[in-house]
Structure 1
Amino acid sequence: MCGITGWVAFDHDLRTELPTVDAMTETMACRGPDGRGTHVEEHAALGHRRLAIIDLPGGSQPMGVPTPHGTVSIVYAGETYNFAELRSELAARGHSFTTRSDTEVVLRGYLEWGESVAERLNGMYAFAVWDAREHKLVMIRDRAGIKPFYYYPTPDGVLFGSEPKAILAHPIAEPTVTADGFRELFAFIKTPGHAVWEGMREVEPGTVVTVSATGIRTTRYWTLETREHTDDRDTTVARVRELLHDTMRRQLVADVPSCTLLSGGLDSSAMTAIAAAQRAARGETLRSFAVDFAGLTENFVADELRPDPDTPFVHDVVKKSGTVHQDIVLGSAEMTDPEVRRKVIGARDLPSGLGDLDTSLYLLFKAIREHATMALSGESADELFGGYRQFFAPEAHASTTFPWLAGHQQFFGQGRRERRGGPSAPVRQSLLTDQLSAALDLDHYIQDSYHDAVAAIRRLDGESDAEWRMRKISHLHLTRFVRIWLDRKDRMSMASGLEVRVPFSDHRLVEYVYNAPWAWKSFDGKEKSLLRAAAADVLPRSVLERRKSPYPSTQDPTYAAALREQCADLLTTPGHPVFDLIDRARLREAVASDTPLTDQASRRDLERTLDLALWIDMYAPALKLP
């Protein structure tokens, strides 16, 4: 796991540009605290920051292989879980290796198979190869979009990086956000390829982007395809169990201390139980960590989304699986610390709008990093097995928009509310100025994006209307919704120098479960039936019977009070550029209100306002708005 960046310029000599390349590389320091390296030649410059996970002494980058017609160099971020098998295959083909790293395997794989090496990789990765033999740059991203990857076309080449900040460190890349960027920022739909910053693009998941003197070419090596599922239900459960065990075995490989993230839900509990059993078979004990908030378990108040606190279920799993466990308990003081908010915005490069969900995750990872360098997480299971309530909500089934935005089935429980002096508006934009809300026209933006997304889904011949409806809902979650959470997990973890792996995003598992009939994903009358059946033998009954509960959110009233106080301070600076976006009068009304802010949805407006203001202070973006 690392941070990568680079610059290709076919009309310039980059050998005099090392200071600029160094500046781009240093923005990735949090992603790679264990080492740095650069490689500069006439038309290509590569930068790398390393977080050492496998082959600690031998995996330094950039890594290159000289050939008779030029050196082939790579900067690589991520992990290739089948590198041992690929290494054996390449050795049989005559390749020799000087390290034990998966990076060298990927580089040798490129030398053997060219761009099609991507089709052979199982893992999470974003890497760039400068092929001096053909004077071209090849950028490849993993199938699920686990590792972020951005590029910025220039008049004679391209800039690229793991995060926008690496690209924005180059003088040619202006930090500009247009109305279209704000649409993407506020819409909560994660349009593939969209990077919010003007002129910047995301390397789409499952694609190869090739840059040469003749231009930029994008090819797709993987897509989530519709296929006929021929296995019966028992066979399907057995295959899911087999894939889970194999994926966990592959992803537990590391030369550094590792652990799991345990919430007490079905996903993380199944993952932890399987991982603990595999470790125990080798005479080792697995570590696990959970997040909690001061006083939450003792004073928990159930709501529509969260019927019970996580901690009792976490401890049931710990007892059954025998992990060495630690609860990371967070208080409101650290959650509202402006410096922590600054770290979160810096990790995201954008004001995400996720509030304490981002802040608490960052603090959790920061605490875990004191004990471990790699962690397994349960991301993607809800999207894959059908865990969210919108999979079952009639409003989502009947809607013609993204299911997590339909009616009152939005992920955070927000629906629509009346705005004084105007028609009803989505809560997601309730503090925006009327002028900006009208200019963004988010409803049409979301609707157009929905139609584009659905058009890419293939219906099986003879597929029933009910199955087709659920196929669309599943596909949208696996190609749009999950990428919001994968990006969040990567940014918050790498800001702490912690590698987080996501076993439920293994493309073999995704392809198989996606095409299984929906009826089998809810055959026991609950969500995620296939996962529950596949892991039933290793989980405590309390977890098997537990209803889905999202990532926890603080209920401490002092957290909400601190948000109001900080927004009140912001209001004392009426000339702040944030008030070009946020309606000052509405913010003042929200600050003065005595309405309790006990859940994440009700606090989101204040959190987003603070995030926007700090983002403007940190990045000084040029805002090109109508």
Structure 2
Amino acid sequence: MCGITGWVAFDADLTQRRETLDAMTETMSCRGPDDEGTWVAPHAALGHRRLAIIDLPGGRQPMSVHTPNGEVAMVYSGEAYNFTELRAELAGLGHEFITDSDTEVVLHGYLQWGEAVADHLNGMYAFAIWDARDEKLVMIRDRMGIKPFYYYPTRDGVLFGSEPKAILANPSARKVVDADGLRELFAFTKTPGWSLWKGMYEVEPGTIVRVDRGGVHTHTYWKLDAVEHTDDQETTVARVRELMTDIVHRQLVADVPRCVLLSGGLDSSAITGLAAARLAEDGEQLRTFSVDFFGQEENFQPDEMRDTPDSPFIRDVAKLVGSAHKDVMLDPGALTDPEVRRAVITARDIPAGLGDMDASLYLLFKAIRSESTVALSGESADEVFGGYRWFHDEEVRKADTFPWLAFRTGMLDNSDVLRPEVSKLLDVPSYIADQYRTAVAQVDQLDGASEFEQRMRTFCHLHLTRMVRSLLDRKDRASMAVGLEVRVPFCDHRLVEYVYNTPWSLKTFDGREKSLLRHATKHVLPQSVVDRVKSPYPSTQDPGYVAALQQQVKEVLATPDSPVFSLVDRNWLTEVVDTDPQSVKGGARHGLNQTLDLHHWFDIYQPELQLD
């Protein structure tokens, strides 16, 4: 796992611009604390920061191979979980290897198959290859978008990096944010290719971007296709169990300490059970970690998203599998620490406004990093198996918008926090409607499928191509900010393709959410977790948290020239900070967090706003 960056300029000599490349590379130091390296040619420069996971001494980058027609150099971030099989296949084709790293396997895979190497990979990855034979840069991102990857076309080439901050370190990139960038920030639709920064784009998941003297060219090598599912219930459950077991086993491969993120829900508990069983075969005890808040279990109050606290279920799982478990306990002081907020904003490059859910994730990962370098997570199971509550809400199913927005409008509504003129200019509702129509039009349907099955396929497609990408980006940024690699078994494309094409009746055959996952993994789960209703990532219920937010926002209000008021409605903010903390919930609480995020983001990034 690493941070990558680079620069291609066909009309310049980049061997004279090493200082700029070094500055770009340094921004990725958090992603790669173990090593750094650069590679420079006249028209291409590559930078790399390494977090050593596999072949600690042999996987240094940038990595290059000399061919009779020119050098081929690569910077790579991620893991190819099938690199052992690919290495054997390539060796059989005559390739010789000098390291045991998956990086070298991917590079030789490109030499053998060209851009089609992407079709051979199972894993999470973002990598760039400068091919001097054709004077072209090839950028490839994994199918689900697990690893972030951005690029910024320039007059004579392109800048790229794992994160926007690497690109913004180059003087050729302007820190401009326009209305289009802000619309997505407040809309929660995860428009494919979006970056907050004007002129910067994501390499979309499952996509190859090639840059040559003719410009920028894109090619989609993977997408979700509709395929008829012919397996019966028993066979389907068995296939999910087989896939899950193989995936977890593959993703446990590392030369550094590993652990599992355990929340006590079905998803993380299934990963925990399968991982513990595998490690037990080698006489190894699994480590598990969870995050909680002081007093949360004793004072828990059910709400629209959470029926029960996590702690009792976490204890049941840890006891069953015999893991070495640790709870990371947090209080309002830690969750509202301005330095933690600034660290999160710097990690994500955007003022996301998720407050304690972002802060707690960052602090959890920071605590884990002192003991482990790799963690497995249950992220994305709800998108794959249809686990969210709104999948089963008839009114949401009928809504003509993104399901998560229809279900949680009050929680995510930004209409009040923005100044009226800004709200009118952005017209976020129209933006959401346009994005929804675009997203629905991209769903392939099976001929003869019922209207209900088509609707539920659309639901699943929206989550797997939109919502999940936001969650994966959030988890990657928070973990890599402290040098922790988080792996997501539920994003294995084989599992995603298979479950995506199972009919909704199979996904809910026992009358509950995530039937396939529950029955495929119940052999490694305590009964309490098998019976548990879906509960999302925890959020603190301590009123002291909101009170601390209000106090910090009062300090912002006392700074009349803060650029945050170019976007935020001062009158609305004044009213909310004077409200009883126990009454500040949903959209109001989110608005406080968004305001504080924007305040610090303006200070850290000094962006230029273009709202004309």
TM-score by length of structure 1 reads 0.97
For residues 54-453 of structure 1, the aligned pairs below 5 Å read: 54-406=54-406, 409-410=407-408, 414=410, 427-453=413-439
Q: Deviations over 1:446-486 (max 9, x none)?
A: 11111111111111111011111100000000000111100
Q: Distance in 2 between matches of 1:321 and 1:492?
A: 28
Number of the residue aligned with 2:557: 571
Letter matched to residue 368 of structure 1: I
By how many angstroms is 1:225 displaced?
0.8
Number of the residue aligned with 1:422: none
By how many angstroms is 1:430 displaced?
1.8
8 Å contact kept, 2:160–2:167:
yes
Number of the residue aligned with 2:479: 493
Tell me the SS of whatever aligns to 2:418: coil
Letter matched to residue 186 of structure 2: F
By how many angstroms is 1:444 displaced?
0.9
Number of the residue aligned with 2:610: 624
By how many angstroms is 1:427 displaced?
2.1
For 2:440, which of 448, 454, 463 is the aligned residue?
A: 454
How many residue pairs were aligned? 612
Q: Deviations over 1:135-175 (max 9, x none)?
A: 10000000000000000000000000000000000001011
Tell me the SS of whatever aligns to 1:596: helix
Q: Distance in 1 between matches of 2:568 and 2:319?
A: 49
Q: Distance in 2 between matches of 1:273 and 1:96?
A: 38
Tell me the SS of whatever aligns to 1:350: coil
Q: Deviations over 1:525-580 (max 9, x none)?
A: 11100000101111111001101111000111211111000000001111111101
Q: Distance in 2 between matches of 1:397 and 1:118?
A: 35
Letter matched to residue 469 of structure 1: R
2:537 corresponds to 1:541: no
Q: Distance in 2 between matches of 1:287 and 1:591?
A: 42
Letter matched to residue 596 of structure 1: Q
Q: Deviations over 1:229-270 (max 9, x none)?
A: 010111000000000000001100000000000000000000
Tell me the SS of whatever aligns to 1:443: helix
By how many angstroms is 1:283 displaced?
1.2
Q: Deviations over 1:579-612 (max 9, x none)?
A: 0100111101110112515756541110100000
Q: Deviations over 1:259-318 (max 9, x none)?
A: 000000000000100010011011111100000011111111111211111011001000
For residues 519-534 of structure 1, the aligned pairs below 5 Å read: 519-534=505-520
Q: 1:245 to 1:594 in 2, by over 3 A?
A: same
**Unaligned regions of 5+ residues in structure 2, if any?**
none
CA RMSD of aligned residues (A): 1.0
Number of the residue aligned with 2:38: 38
Tell me the SS of whatever aligns to 1:7: strand
8 Å contact kept, 2:356–2:539:
yes
Q: Deviations over 1:335-387 (max 9, x none)?
A: 11111111000001110121111110000000000000000000110011111
Q: 1:602 to 1:525 in 2, by over 3 A?
A: farther
Number of the residue aligned with 1:419: none
Letter matched to residue 374 of structure 2: M
Q: Distance in 2 between matches of 1:600 and 1:78?
A: 36
Tell me the SS of whatever aligns to 1:428: coil
By how many angstroms is 1:429 displaced?
3.0
Letter matched to residue 606 of structure 1: L
Letter matched to residue 544 of structure 1: V
8 Å contact kept, 1:55–1:100:
yes
Answer with 506-515 or 328-337: which moved more: 328-337
For 1:558, which of 541, 544, 550 is the aligned residue?
A: 544
By how many angstroms is 1:428 displaced?
2.6
8 Å contact kept, 1:556–1:598:
no
Q: Distance in 2 between matches of 1:193 and 1:559?
A: 35
Q: Deviations over 1:368-413 (max 9, x none)?
A: 000000000001100111110110111211111111111xx12xx6
Tell me the SS of whatever aligns to 1:326: strand
Q: Distance in 1 between matches of 2:405 and 2:340?
A: 29
For 2:454, which of 449, 468, 475 is the aligned residue?
A: 468
By how many angstroms is 1:334 displaced?
1.2
2:600 corresponds to 1:604: no
Q: Distance in 2 between matches of 1:574 and 1:196?
A: 25
Q: Deviations over 1:105-134 (max 9, x none)?
A: 000000000000000000000000000111
Answer with 526-535 or 427-436: which moved more: 427-436
**Unaligned regions of 5+ residues in structure 1, if any?**
416-425
Tell me the SS of whatever aligns to 2:304: coil
8 Å contact kept, 1:256–1:374:
yes
Q: Distance in 1 between matches of 2:262 and 2:270?
A: 9
Number of the residue aligned with 1:593: 579
Tell me the SS of whatever aligns to 2:384: helix
8 Å contact kept, 1:557–1:597:
no
Tell me the SS of whatever aligns to 2:97: coil
Q: Distance in 2 between matches of 1:597 and 1:22?
A: 49
Q: Distance in 1 between matches of 2:34 and 2:356?
A: 29
8 Å contact kept, 1:150–1:162:
yes
Q: Deviations over 1:177-196 (max 9, x none)?
A: 10000001111011111112
Q: Distance in 2 between matches of 1:138 and 1:239?
A: 35
Q: Distance in 2 between matches of 1:588 and 1:559?
A: 18
Q: 1:234 to 1:598 in 2, by over 3 A?
A: farther
Letter matched to residue 414 of structure 1: G
Answer with 352-361 or 25-34: which moved more: 352-361
Number of the residue aligned with 1:481: 467
Q: Distance in 1 between matches of 2:123 and 2:353?
A: 29
Q: Deviations over 1:207-226 (max 9, x none)?
A: 00000011111001100111
Q: Deviations over 1:411-455 (max 9, x none)?
A: xx626xxxxxxxxxx723321000011111111111111111111
8 Å contact kept, 2:546–2:581:
no
Q: Distance in 1 between matches of 2:17 and 2:548?
A: 46
Letter matched to residue 463 of structure 1: A
8 Å contact kept, 2:414–2:587:
no
Q: Distance in 1 between matches of 2:369 and 2:161?
A: 24
Question: Percent identity of the aligned residues?
Answer: 64
Number of the residue aligned with 1:420: none
Q: 1:532 to 1:602 in 2, by over 3 A?
A: farther
Tell me the SS of whatever aligns to 1:71: strand
Q: 1:598 to 1:306 in 2, by over 3 A?
A: farther
8 Å contact kept, 1:560–1:603:
yes
Tell me the SS of whatever aligns to 1:253: coil
8 Å contact kept, 2:543–2:581:
no
Q: Distance in 1 between matches of 2:164 and 2:89?
A: 36
Letter matched to residue 553 of structure 1: S
